[in-house]
Each structure stands twice: as C-alpha cells, then as structure tokens.
Amino acid sequence: MKQRFLDLTGHEMRTPLTYLLGMLHLAERRGPGSIDSDMLQNLTSKANRLNHIVENMLKLVQQPGFGSDYATLNLSVFSMGPLVGLVTQELLHFLQERAMRWELDVPEDLPRVTADYDKVRDVLMNLFTNAIRFSPDGAPVGLKISRRGEDEIEIIVSDRGPGMSPDQVSRVIRPFSTAEEALMTHSSGGAGGELSFGSRGMGLGLSVARRFIDMHGGSLTLDTAPGTGTRVHVVLPLEAHVLPERVPQM
C-alpha cells in the first residue's frame, strides 16, 4: 500500500514539476525578459495544479481506512480535441526550442468520453514528454486518435527515437525501471534541460500511465524495435467501466 501511494503521488507531482523546471530552464537560456504572458500563464497553471495535488494528498492520508484503494476515478464527460489542444500548447515551447513539430490527426467528430480528465491529461503529458525526450532535434512527434468499434477510442503517440528491444519494453513499464540507459549513449544534439534528447526521468511515467488507463478499463501497449522509434497504443473506453451516480459535464 505504501509503495503504491508513493508511486502514484510521486508521479502526480512529477508531471507539473517537470513542466515548471523545463519552462524555467528555457527562460534562463533565453535571458532576461523572455517570459511572455502565455508562458507565465502556463507556469501559474502548473503551480496551481501542483498545489492541488499536495492538498489532495494531505486529505487522502487523513481518511479512515486509507490504503483500501490506492486511487479512484473522478469522472466527467469531455471531448478529446480541446484536451489535446491544451496539452500540445503547453509543450509547444519545448518543441520550438528543439526545432520539433507536432503531427496531429485528431478528428473533430470524435465522440465524447466519460473518464477522469486529470488522469487522461497526465497520460497524454507523459506520452508526449517521453516522445520529445527520445526524439532527436527536428523530428516530429505524432498523435493519432480514432474511434475503435462502438465503445472505444484508440490513441497512438509516436516518436522518431532509437526504439527499444523486447527486453527494454518488458522493463520500461515497471516502476523505477526504464530503458533510458540505452538512450544515454546517443549524441543528443539537443538544447539541454528537462526535455532534452535522452534526458532521464524518474522511471514512473509509463508504468503509472498504464495504471491510469487500466483503471478506466483500457489498455496501453508499446510497438517498437531498435532503430524504428516507438509507438504507444492506448485503448480508452468511451465510458469507464465503473461509473459514479452523477457525472459532471465539461
């Protein structure tokens, strides 16, 4: 129970912290006066998100019976398009710094999903930041979302990095065990900082992302091989399998 709590909350805090540190690194590189209004707004949003996570952690550990469930879903109904737009805009500074670009295929007529908005956002943020880390400067980061049957959507995030061997794939989805060591030998040619090519994370991103998707009744798998890049396939039900009595609209 303690390990699950540490895994989950450590990752929840790491997501906005990585963004805050990365943005501050870019501002430091660019010199005085480089923080524009959009960047400042994003920094404030992530700081508020981090504060919200800490407050929820403190509330959680004070609850009687803490440990019976390591996480719950806070479900709402929302559209994937605006969420993708939010996450890609937040990461745009990092792509611009490394001359990278988005390749997005997100149809406007996608059905709305009933899911935990914050957890799906964190999954997208993690998959995107991994793709940025493991792609060389100038490479595209791809996202494709499509309907899958009557009650699911499929999300594919792809990079142009060095890819992974089957052994690395088996390890990369376990907490604190990553395939990043294999990438560290590559010449980065990157801008440095939190999201430079081959930069090392905590080893929690994919394992917690898969856990979040599992909680919705979905799946997360990797399609990769050395020299081919990596494609992360996420299958997300249009409605999480366990619904609360009331689901707010977003």
Buried/exposed 8-42: b ≥16 CB within 10 Å, e otherwise: bbebbebbbbbbbebbebbbeeeeeeeeeeebeeb
Q: Is residue 188 part of a domain?
A: yes
Q: Is residue 243 part of a domain?
A: no
Q: Is residue 248 part of a domain?
A: no
Q: Is residue 242 part of a domain?
A: no
Count of domains in the chain?
A: 1
Buried/exposed 186-198: b ≥16 CB within 10 Å, e otherwise: eebebbebbbbbb
- pLDDT mean across residues, the chain: 75
The confidence score (pLDDT) of residue 170 equals 67
Q: 100-151, pLDDT tens digit by residue? A: 999 999 999 999 999 999 889 989 988 998 888 888 899 999 999 999 999 9
The confidence score (pLDDT) of residue 29 equals 78
Q: Is residue 246 part of a domain?
A: no
Q: Is residue 245 part of a domain?
A: no
Q: 187-236, pLDDT tens digit by residue? A: 333 444 444 544 444 344 677 788 889 889 999 999 888 888 899 999 99
Q: Is residue 184 part of a domain?
A: yes
Give the DSSP per-residue string, 108-169: TTPPPEEEEHHHHHHHHHHHHHHHHHTS-TT-EEEEEEEEETTTEEEEEEE--S----HHHH
Residue 22 lies in domain: 2-237
Out of 9-18, 72-81, 165-174, 181-190, which region has the weakest mean confidence (pLDDT)? 181-190
Residue 168: partners with Cβ closer than 8 Å, 6 or more residues away: 179, 182
Q: Is residue 244 part of a domain?
A: no
CATH code of the domain covering residue 19: 3.30.565.10
